[in-house]
Each structure stands twice: as C-alpha cells, then as structure tokens.
Amino acid sequence: MPVSSLPSRPVAELLTALSSGNLTSRQLVESCLEAISAQDDTIHAMVHVDAEGALKRADRIDERRRAGEPLGLLAGLPVAIKDNICCRHLPCTCGSRMLESFRPPYDAHVTEAIQAADGIIIGTTNMDEFAMGSSTETSAWGPTRHPDDPQRIPGGSSGGSAAAVSAGLVPLALGSDTGGSIRQPAAFCGCVGLKPTYGRVSRYGLVAFASSLDQIGPFARDAVGAALLLQAVAGHDVRDSTSVRHQVPDYRTELSRPLSDLRIGLIEDHFAEGLDEEMADAVRRTVHQLEERGASVRTVRLPHSKYCVATYYLVASSEASSNLARYDGIHYGRRADGCTDLMDVYCRSRGEGFGPEVKRRIMLGTYALSAGYYDAYYLTALKVRRRIREDFDAAFRNVDVLAGPVTPTPAFRIGEKTDDPLAMYLSDIYTISANLAGIPAISVPAGRSENGLPLAVQFQAPPFEESRLLRLADAVLS
C-alpha cells in the first residue's frame, strides 16, 4: 500500500492494515499531513492543522496497539472536523471574523466521542461563514476549491470537509447539515455524506445556526467509513436537550444485509424543470441497478415540496437571527475599537465581524420575527413545515426509503452565483426538506458527468433508520 495514497484508501482497508501491524497510526497521520502540504495550498480545505498534537496521539495509539490493548471503533484513523465544532486545542472560527480569535474552553460531544473511539483529530475544515452558504465562498478565510477542478466550488457549507475527503487529505471528516450542508458538498465532490436524524447526534459544542435544523454527520469515501464515524459520535447526551434516547445500532454489520426487503420510492416531484438531464439519468440508473439487485421501486409524491425553499429560509433565518444575537461585542467574539457608547459597540462590532450573507439572513430573520409580521411569516412557515413532515410520514407508510437527486446540477464555477442569492439557495432545493422533517438522508456518488464532474443520488429514510441509508450506499458503491 503506497504511503502517499493512504488517506484515499477505503476505511476498511486502512483498519485491516492498522490491526495487522502493516501500517501504524503515525504513518497514516504523516501521510495525511504530506497530502495537506502538497495539495491544500490549491484546494484550501483546511483552516487549522494540529500536526504536533495529531502525531502525539498517533504515537500513543500505536503504543497501546503494540501492548495488545483494545482500541476503539476508529482505532487510530485521522478525522477532520468542521470549523464550527468545538475542540479545546484548536481555534473555532466558523469561517468568520467575528470569532477570529476564539478558542473553545471545552470539547463538543462529537469531539469527545471521536477521541474516546481512538480517532485522531487532525484539524478543522473551511466552511461558509456560520454555515450560511452553499459553496464555501462566504468564508472569511477565502473559498475552498473543488479537488477535481479548482475553478469550481466544492459545495457548502461543509465544503472544506467534503473537499478534504475527496482529495485524499483525510479518510474521514465531520460536517454539519442545516439544509443540505453535508449532502450537497458530498454530491459535488463525489464522496459519501450523511445527515442523521435530528437528535441522533448531540449538538453540544456545535456553534448554532438554526437550532431546530442543525445536525452533525460524517463524510467518507465509502459506506464503511460513514458507518463507523456515525456510530462513534451518535447516542444520547444529557447536555443537549434535543438529543434522543434511542439505541445506536452496529451500523457496519447492517451493511451486508440484502436489498430484497427494501421498497424504494422515486420522488416524482423532484424530476421537474431545473434538474440537469445527466443528474436525472444518474439517479434513475442507480435506482434501476438497485431494483435489479432485489429492491422494489415505485414513484411517490411529496405535494408540499414546492414550498420547501420559502419555508426553510424563513425558519432558518429566524433562528439564525436569534442565535447570532449573542455576538454583540460584549460577551465574546469581535469587539470594535474606539466605540463611543453601547449602541456603537453593538453596531460596529457586528458590522465588522459579520459578512454580507450572514447579515442578509439576520435581517431576513429579524424581519420575519418582528411585531406584525411574526404570524404572517414565521408562524405560517412552521405550519407548512408540519405539512412537509406529514408528506414524508405518508410516503413512508408505503415505501422504506425515498430516492431522488441531491442537487439540480453538478458543481458550478466559483463566482457563478454569488451575485444571485436566490440561484444559490436553489442549489439546496432537494436537500432542505429532510432538515425540515428531521429525517436522515444520505448523498452517494453515482458516476460522473460528460465533463468529469461527480454526480450523486440522495436517499432519505424514516427517523432513526440510518442503517437503511448506509446499506443502500454500500450496495451502490460495491
């Protein structure tokens, strides 16, 4: 196994090599650091790299392995985490000047879980500012570029994590998904990205964007990697009131189950105007292949899906307006110099700290929550959200999983949509409904376009049925 290609190898292969002694954790971490050094000046997937700390943790794990001590699920695998997940030995900036100098005084639940599973956190990845974006162009630290074509975006807001896995900088990464921010960049970059059920993974230590929508999930090159990382971080956490007491299955053992008992619903509403023909063909082709392997297929309708974009941007922006009110120049974060009074502190600190997209969403959310407009906008959006969830409930009475596209098109060019917010928002048109409904969803590679860009298929399942999604991902990729 060539050392230079180690981070690009399937996770199952890496674990076998580690357990047999043919590979050490130090060698694997060194290979990741070499790949970052060689490629990341162009891609800009990483924001902070903890080379010294990662090597020290790798050496400790190698010592334990040589001593015959049992190791956790991740057994010395390097993991990158999105820059909105707290890790006490790394900065956490959320891609924003507002948190430019912030170092968390505590670890997020998922950070603790990775370390408890003997994973090695190698650094943090670039993202759209405060996770508000679909292209990783709004980061205060500059855009991340697509690993296959540096003139294109990797998707967002977890574009850094997707690009790092796709480019072979790390074998595993975590992102957060509020309206598609794991699945959309995974689709653009050609890797597996899974958004778990809301409440499956604790949000403790995740910097909030929209609290009723945010969920942390894994990126990997294969279903095994996604299954192991999800299993490592999932489970109840008393520090997050939305964390659910629900047993976490052994996701890896579920991968090999046959498909003969699965009923797949192809979402008819998603095959309409705006969907790229190559993307539509890739989805249909993938579903047909699953049908040949024993799954049954039928078409389904989600009647309220046409309201998803409007509903999402009212709910998400309203919650963002509330969550980001804490960045006032007083408690923590950026504080402007030379202010004359309290109002000046607030206005100048927020004006200097937040970028244009964050300001846009704060203003939209504040307007929707304001007196005289709350009932007409925010409350109405919550009622439509309930209808969207009911559509999924009705569909899942007849099928086990839903299939459709992840994105309307393959990855677009840098700068192509920055001046047209609506066009940018529509790149998440097929992903946001899963967040509104709180259900799990996964993006799985499904070939490439004529010009070589990754295509993908999305599967969605009832709450806490991530095993079904991972089983389908493994079947598609095997």
Question: Domains along the chain?
Answer: 3-254 (3.90.1300.10), 310-376 (no CATH)
Tell whether the model's pLDDT for residue 208 goes beyond 70: yes
Catalytic, 305? Answer: no
| Backbone conformation region of residue 145, classed left if phi is above 0, alpha if psi is from -120 to 50, else beta | beta
Q: How far apart are CA 443 and CA 472, in angstroms?
A: 10
Are 150 and 156 within 8 A, CB to CB? no
CA distance from start to end of the chain: 20
Residues above pLDDT 70, as percent of the chain: 99
Q: How far apart are CA 377 and CA 371, in angstroms?
A: 11
**pLDDT tens-digit readout, 33-66:** 999 999 999 999 999 999 999 999 999 999 999 9
Predicted confidence at residue 257, as pLDDT, reads: 87
Predicted confidence at residue 333, as pLDDT, reads: 84
Catalytic residue among 96, 176, 181, 318: 181
pLDDT-derived band of residue 444, with 50, 70 and 90 as boundaries?
A: very high
Average pLDDT value for residue range 390-417: 97
> Which residues lie below 8 Å from residue 435, measured CB to CB, with a gap of 6+?
177, 178, 179, 180, 195, 198, 213, 215, 312
**Tokens found for residue 2:** 């060539």
Tell whether the model's pLDDT for residue 250 goes beyond 90: yes
Average pLDDT value for residue range 294-305: 96
**pLDDT tens-digit readout, 349-381:** 899 999 999 999 999 999 999 988 999 999 999
**pLDDT tens-digit readout, 260-269:** 889 999 999 9
pLDDT-derived band of residue 202, with 50, 70 and 90 as boundaries?
A: very high
Predicted confidence at residue 164, as pLDDT, reads: 98
Phi and psi, residue 409, nearest 5°:
-140, 165
Which element (helix H / strand E) includes 205? Answer: none
Torsion from C-alpha of 229, 115, 134, 47, nearest 10 degrees: -140
Predicted confidence at residue 256, as pLDDT, reads: 85
Mean pLDDT over all residues of the chain? 96
User: 3-state class of 219 per DSSP?
Assistant: strand
Catalytic residue among 134, 135, 139, 157: 157
pLDDT-derived band of residue 2, with 50, 70 and 90 as boundaries?
A: low
Q: How far apart are CA 212 and CA 322, in angstroms?
A: 12
Catalytic, 82? Answer: yes
Rounded to two decimals, what is the model's pTM?
0.96
Which element (helix H / strand E) includes 97? Answer: none
Q: How far apart are CA 446 and CA 442, in angstroms?
A: 12
Predicted confidence at residue 253, as pLDDT, reads: 92
Single-letter amino acid, residue 223: A
Average pLDDT value for residue range 397-419: 97
Average pLDDT value for residue range 198-217: 98
Catalytic, 157? Answer: yes
Predicted confidence at residue 260, as pLDDT, reads: 86
User: C-alpha angle with apex 155: 195 to 471, nearest 5 degrees?
Assistant: 35
Taking every pair of Cα atoms in the chain, the longest distance, rounded to a whole number of angstroms, is 71
Catalytic residue among 82, 139, 349, 427: 82
Q: What are the respective helix, strand and coil percentages of the chain, to the nearest 5?
A: 45, 15, 40
Residue 410 exposed, middle or buried by CB count within 10 Å (0-12, 13-18, 19+): buried
Predicted confidence at residue 4, as pLDDT, reads: 55
Tell whether the model's pLDDT for residue 118 goes beyond 60: yes
Predicted confidence at residue 3, as pLDDT, reads: 53
